[in-house]
Structure 1
Amino acid sequence: MPGLIEPYDDLTGAVQQIILSSSDSDYLDQLIPLLKTAQTQTQVQPLIQALNQVSGEREGEIERICNTNHQEFITSVNQLQNVREGTVGLTGEIMALSQSIEATTEKLAEQKKALVESRGVRQNIDDATQALKDCLEVLRLANQVHDLLGKKSHYAALRALDELQNVHLREVTRYKIAEMIERSVPATQRLIAEAVKADLNTWLYRIRETSQFLGEVAFYHTEMRRTRSKERWGEEDSYLGSFKLNSAVELVADEEEEFDVLNNEEVQVDFSPLFECLHIHEALGQTDKFRTEYAATRRQQKDLLLPTTLRLDDEENAGLSSLLEGITGFAIVERATMMKTPDNFRSQSDVDELWDNMCQSAIKLISSALPTVENDEKLLKIKGVIALFIQTMDSWGYSVSALDSLLLTLFDKYSSLLKKRFSDDFQEIVSTDDYMPMPVNNPDEFTRVMSVSWYNPPEGQDDPETLTYPCILPFSQMYPLVCIDIRNFINQIYLFSDDHFSAAHNIDAALHTALDDLLVHRVARSLVDRLSSQYPGQIVQILTNLDHFEHACAELETLLVSARSSSSAAGPITLSSTSEFASAKQKAETRIFALVNSKIDDLIDTAEYDWLSPAVPATASPYMQELTRYLSNIMSSVLIGLPPKIKAQIYHESLAHISAALLALPLDAAIRQISAQAATAYGLDVAHLAGFVEGLQDGAALLGVLDELRQTAELMALAAEGQGEVFFDSSVSGLRFGRVDKIRGAELLEKVSVAAAPGGAAEEAVGRPSTSALGRLSTQVAGLGVGGGSGSGSPVVEGRRGFADDLRGRFGKFAGRDRS
């Protein structure tokens, strides 16, 4: 039992807590742990008993409370009865009051009905008034659209129409007027579109009329940039000066000079009509249609801009300038339109297509008119206009490659015209020259000549203040004149690249070729053609000029290297005219030799030797005196202007020719005998010539030319004295007669020996040549390889034939030259 009581008391406490719980949730919270612990019916039974106990206790407590307050309850019931009676009385009064209110309500209802009816009428009047006001507002807005349209406020009219359609018409959709106005909206939209297009067409017309002036302003701005660039760098900095217009360096340097070609003091281009038209068509959903129509209109305007023909022969290039200025203005407006409008309105391809079309048309017009231009200065002005056009359009981002190709065509034409003009100048200079040394009268003239020509005066003669005037220069006036033309030709060729020319290497190549051709054909060969003159002084002057031209060509090669405009070119420049002048010099020298030798031949032809003369003359022959006098005069007068080297060469060649001609005289096959007196006379003439040569400035060097002649004359003199046998003594002959040909010496010994023999022997010699002297040389001749075979006379015959052939060959080398 004690074990059962304990759990019972615990359950009773738990039941008390459940009863005292403030809510069902607390009740459940208390009950759930008890149920979890009661796992069987036996375990739940104590809980039920505890609940029944608590319930019994509560019922007993309620009964005690009721028994204690019974009288109070009775009193309360009586009070409730009294209240009920009072309530019945009040109910009657309320019923009476309700009847009174009902009567009043019926009267009020009648009044209310009348009021409602009057309010309905008034509402109808108000509704009609409001509807009228709304319709009047719609009409006012519709009229306002047309008023704005009349005032050219197209976008405001479109906005008002849109507001009318989307706002105000929705408020009056139940009225007929809304339907009428709704039907008129498309027509009004068309009116707005047509009006704004009319304004745009007016704007486009004004733009077309303004295009040329706009291009003129753009050209002027480009010219100002050129000027600023030259002033900014000029010649102070050659590196910065190499950066052309529109290069990155030039653009950065010119940033401070702000200039808007489209909006300045001279011209203002307002794009508002275009923006408004574009915006209105965008609002109307007609952007694609407007873009197509605008593109077609601009193509038509482009066609109107280009003339059918072009003249390039006017003085001011008005036609070309107008054409290029118009294209420039048109292209600038197109580029600005593309930049200021949305990307899909004017595409890059559309603008480039128009530009390419205009360029090709302009190039075709210029190319067609180009054959009419026959003046290089005029062509240079045309190039200047085109270069200005190229630089202007390049600054706006247009491709100018086609125009660069046009400049190449212009340069080819320009170089050919320039070459023709200078060719005529060179021809005139060569043909009108006096071919006399050029005199200068004062230091200014000397300085000017030195500044334009490539001439280095001898030391001590290069200071113009110390010279005696008039001063004679070695060359004729044609040389400085040609030098001036050469410098002018170079300057004018390079003028073509001053503004804009991308193919600088073409200029260098054309200059090299043209200058070479001018110098070769118009100077060198023209001077060679004049070598046919019979005046030695003129030939000498031509030779002097050729020598200076050869030196000028060498200087010119260096000048062309430093002046060439292509920075990528490298290496030396070689002019073929340099070798041409050198070749012409040789021809001039040959011609001088021919003239001098011709005169020498004429004088020698006057030699009248009596080879069998029995008398010895007291002096040299007259022809020899005249010959030396001629050589002295021509060298001191006609040939004095020649360079010393050439003068010495002429002396050498002339003396060699004289020596050969004098040697040929006694060796003539027709002369069979030479007397001792004739040999002595011949030796006097040779000695006179040698004495003259020895007295010259370079006589010691020139005297060697006469060695063979002098030794031959000495041999003849020995033979005349009967000592000719010395010639066959090898120990003596090598020293005294080393330059004398063995066969010739033997032949002369034979002739002189025959002339010195007794009378009978001489007569025998006339009929038959003696072999005594020649026989002694048989072994020597065979050793020299002159004769062939053996026998008594074979080597001699062969030797004579070889000698004669050799003599004719040597003599013909000089005597056979052209003497004309």
Structure 2
Amino acid sequence: MADSIQQQLQQLVLLSDSVEAGPSGGGGGGGSGGPGESGGPGASTVEEAMEQLGPLIHSVYRTNKQKLFRQQVELFAQRKDAEIMKLCGNYHQEFVQSVAQLLKVRQNTSELQEKVVGLNAELQQSGKALYEKKAELLSLRREHRNIQRASEAVRAGLHVVHMVARFDEQVATKEYHGAIKTVGDLREATAGVRRHAFGRLLEASLPKMEAKLQAAALSDMKDWLFGLKKTTRDIGRGLAERMGRRQVQWRERDASVRERYFVSSAVQFVLDEEFDQDGPIAVDMMPLYQCLYINERLGRRAEFRRSFSEDRSDQLSLILAAPVQFAIGHLDALEGMLHDVIGFFAVEHTILSSAPDFCTKADVDALWDSGTAKLTDVIARNIQSIRADPDVSAALHALLTTFTYVMEENAYDVRKLRELMLAVFGT
């Protein structure tokens, strides 16, 4: 009976093994279902095992062999345990080796992790040093750029300072043309240093430098005008003496024609030109032209022209305001005044000829009319003294005649003077 139960249990186990081996075992058809699928070979085998297990249990309980059945089941289980132990013993060494390899791999992994962590720390340390070096390099580059900018600013500043020093030197040595050019160069150079306080200060001082240059040139011109007082008298005396020599030539050439005295001096000059050995009287006009040039460059031409005109008018007024006496032995003051007037208007004629855009003929004519009126007033106030003394009258007539000829030769209108002489002397 026990053998029968054992055999039946063995069959059940075999059936169970066939169920487990069915899906991966024989046939290998890719389209077959699993053991749990309806209609598959595994399902029919399980059903067969269950069908055989039922009668077996029924037979055991029917014959009261439960104890024997349990014993057989335990024996069957023990036998299977033994088989399992045997199977495990066969693969134990490989399992242990695998576990040992796994532990070794784990250890190697831990070591590798530690190395990675250490390498990461080293990389971070190296990166920190590189970052510090990079930051230091950027700082040095900024410093180098700042140094370059500072050097450029210093060079530009030195260039400007040298120009300022050259300007002061040029003003001191009266090189005004160079000084005005230096001011223009400074105006352009300040554009490069305007962002610095020094450049802004220099730019603000440019008008003062221009004013300094203008004042220096104007001062020279004032000195020239002051010195021109003596020069104009020499010029007037020279022109009067030249005209006196011509008058002598006229009288010697034709003493019988009295009216010769009143022939136009321009005609007489043409007639006597071949005998005239005197050259033109030169006047140094450089201070005036220089001052005019500077004021033109500075845009102050109109202001300078007005100031110069006022100075010349004042100077003529001073000449005609000089005290004179109409008595024999005291006509030198009058003669000197006439020489001053001749020299004054000879200079005006030179300015008009050389700088017509600065001094117009209308301005000179207006000044001449003013001078003629003042001279006429001086003679009119002393008409009684002049007519009372024939010697004074003759001397004054000679002086005015020479004066009239000289002024007519320089293209001035002498009709009022002729009328004055006619009214005073009757000739």
Query: What TM bracket, shorter-length normalisation?
Result: 0.5 to 0.7
- Conserved? CA contact 2:235–2:339, under 8 Å: yes
Which whole-Å CA distance do the structure 1 matches of 2:395 and 2:186 have between them? 63
Q: TM-score, normalised by structure 1?
A: 0.33
- Aligned pairs for 1:108-257 (under 5 A) are 122-166=144-188, 168-229=189-250, 233-234=253-254, 244=263, 246-248=265-267, 250-251=269-270, 253-254=272-273, 257=276
Work out the CA distance in 2 between the residues paired with 1:178 and 1:211: 48
Q: Distance in 2 between matches of 1:300 and 1:369?
A: 23
Structure 1 residue 357: Cα displacement? 1.5
Structure 1 residues 135-187: Cα deviation after superposition (integer angstroms, max 9, x where no partner): 11111112221222222223322210111112x22222332221110000011
Tell me how far apart the structure 1 counterparts of residues 400 and 143 of structure 2 sit (CA, whole Å).
87
Among candidates 335, 347, 363, match of residue 350 of structure 1 = 363
Helix, strand or coil for the counterpart of 1:247?
Answer: helix
Aligned CA RMSD, in angstroms, stands at: 3.0
Deviation at 1:382, TM superposition (A): 1.6
Question: What is the Cα deviation at residue 341 of structure 1?
Answer: 1.5
Amino acid at match of 2:216: A
**AA of the residue aligned to 2:154:** L
Relative to structure 1, the CA distance from residue 395 to residue 366 in structure 2 (aligned partners, 3 Å threshold; closer, same or farther) is same
1:274-302 deviation digits (Å, cap 9, x = unpaired): 00111111111111111111111111111
| 1:370 equivalent in structure 2 | 383
User: What is residue 306 of structure 2 aligned with on the other side?
Assistant: 292
Q: Mean alpha-carbon deviation: is it higher for 300-309 or for 177-186?
A: 300-309
> Closer, same or farther in 2 for the Cα pair 1:242/1:290, shift >3 Å?
closer
Displaced runs of 4 or more, over 6 A: 112-116
CA change 1:392–1:243 in 2 (3 A) is closer
1:137/1:319 Cα in 2 relative to 1: closer, same or farther (>3 Å)?
same
Using a 3 Å threshold, how does the CA distance of structure 1 residues 347 and 242 change in structure 2: closer, same or farther?
closer
- Give 1:128 shift: 2.5
Cα distance in 2 between the residues matched to 1:256 and 1:313: 35
Q: Is the 8 A contact 1:310 1:369 kept in 2?
A: no
Spell out, residue by residue over 1:521-573, the C-alpha distance to the aligned partner (whole angstroms, 9 max, x if none).
xxxxxxxxxxxxxxxxxxxxxxxxxxxxxxxxxxxxxxxxxxxxxxxxxxxxx
Q: C-alpha displacement at 1:361, in angstroms?
A: 1.4
Cα distance change on mapping 1:408 and 1:252 into 2, 3 Å: closer
- Change in Cα spacing, 1:230 to 1:400, as seen in structure 2 (3 Å) is same
The code of the aligned residue for 2:301 comes to T
- Equivalent of residue 359 in structure 1, options 368, 372, 395: 372
- Give the Å deviation of 1:394: 0.4
> RCO higher in 1 or 2 (8 Å CA, sep ≥ 6)?
2
In 2: Cα distance, 1:243 partner to 1:309 partner: 29
Q: Deviations over 1:184-218 (max 9, x none)?
A: 00111111111111111111111123322221111
Give the distance between the partners of 1:115 and 1:291, measured in 2 at CA.
Answer: 66
Using the alignment, how far apart are the partners of 2:303 and 2:161 within structure 1? 31
* 1:262 and 2:285 aligned: no
SS in 1 for 2:265: coil
Note the alpha carbon deviations across 1:247-296, whole angstroms, 9 max, x for none.
34642640573644432xxxxx2111100111111111111111111111
The secondary structure found in structure 2 opposite 1:133 is helix
Q: Match of 2:276, as an amino acid?
A: E
Amino acid paired to 1:138: V
Contact 1:312-1:319 within 8 A present in 2 as well: no
Cα pair 1:338 1:348 within 8 Å, conserved: yes
Q: Secondary structure at the match of 1:200?
A: helix
Q: Which amino acid aligns with 2:151?
A: T
Distance in 1, Cα, partners of 2:152 & 2:274: 65
Q: Secondary structure at the match of 2:382?
A: helix
Q: Distance in 1 between matches of 2:421 and 2:225?
A: 32
Instruction: State the number of aligned residues.
Output: 292
Contact 2:328/2:391 (8 A) holds in 1: no
The whole-number CA distance in structure 2 between the counterparts of 1:342 and 1:182 is 35
Cα distance in 2 between the residues matched to 1:283 and 1:260: 35
Query: Partners of 2:363 and 2:151 in 1: how far apart?
Result: 58
Query: Which ranges in structure 1 are unaligned for 5 or more consecutive residues?
Result: 1-109, 264-268, 413-500, 502-820
**Aligned-partner Cα distance in 2 for 1:226–1:259:** 15
Pairing of 1:249-328 with structure 2 (within 5 A): 250-251=269-270, 253-254=272-273, 257=276, 259-263=278-282, 269-307=283-321, 309-315=323-329, 317-328=331-342
Partner Cα separation in structure 2 for residue 199 and residue 247 of structure 1? 36
Paired AA for residue 381 in structure 2? S
- Determine whether 1:399 maps to 2:408: no
Is the CA contact 1:312–1:372 (under 8 Å) kept in the aligned structure 2? Answer: yes
The 8 Å contact of residues 266 and 408 in structure 2, kept in 1 or not, is answered as: no
Instruction: Assess, with a 3 A threshold, how the Cα gap between structure 1 residues 242 and 317 changes in structure 2: closer, same or farther.
Output: closer
- Pick the structure with more helix per residue: 2
Q: 1:123 deviation in Å? A: 4.7
Distance 1:404 1:365 in 2: 16
Partners in 2 of 1:274 and 1:255 — Cα distance?
34
Equivalent residue runs for 1:527-546 within 5 Å: none
Displacement after TM superposition at 1:242 (Å):
9.2
Aligned equivalents of 1:220 and 1:287: distance in 2?
37
Structure 2 counterpart SS, 1:310: coil
Q: Is the 8 A contact 2:194 2:203 kept in 1?
A: no
Contact 1:243 1:249 in 2 (8 A): no
Q: Distance in 1 between matches of 2:248 and 2:135?
A: 98
Q: Distance in 1 between matches of 2:266 and 2:285?
A: 30
Residue 131 of structure 1 aligns to which amino acid in structure 2?
A: A
Note if contact 1:281-1:290 (Cα within 8 Å) is conserved in structure 2. yes
Residue-by-residue CA offset, 1:472-516 (whole Å, 9 max, x unaligned): xxxxxxxxxxxxxxxxxxxxxxxxxxxxx6xxxxxxxxxxxxxxx
Contact 2:233 2:336 in 1 (8 A): yes
Structure-to-structure mapping, 1:91-102, within 5 angstroms: none
Identity of aligned residues (%): 23
Alignment of 1:563-578 (within 5 A): none
CA 251–315 in structure 1, closer or farther in 2 if over 3 Å, else same:
same
After superposition, where does 1:76-87 map in structure 2 within 5 Å?
none
Tell me the distance in 2 between the aligned counterparts of 1:179 and 1:146: 19
Q: State the AA in 1 paired with 2:179.
A: A
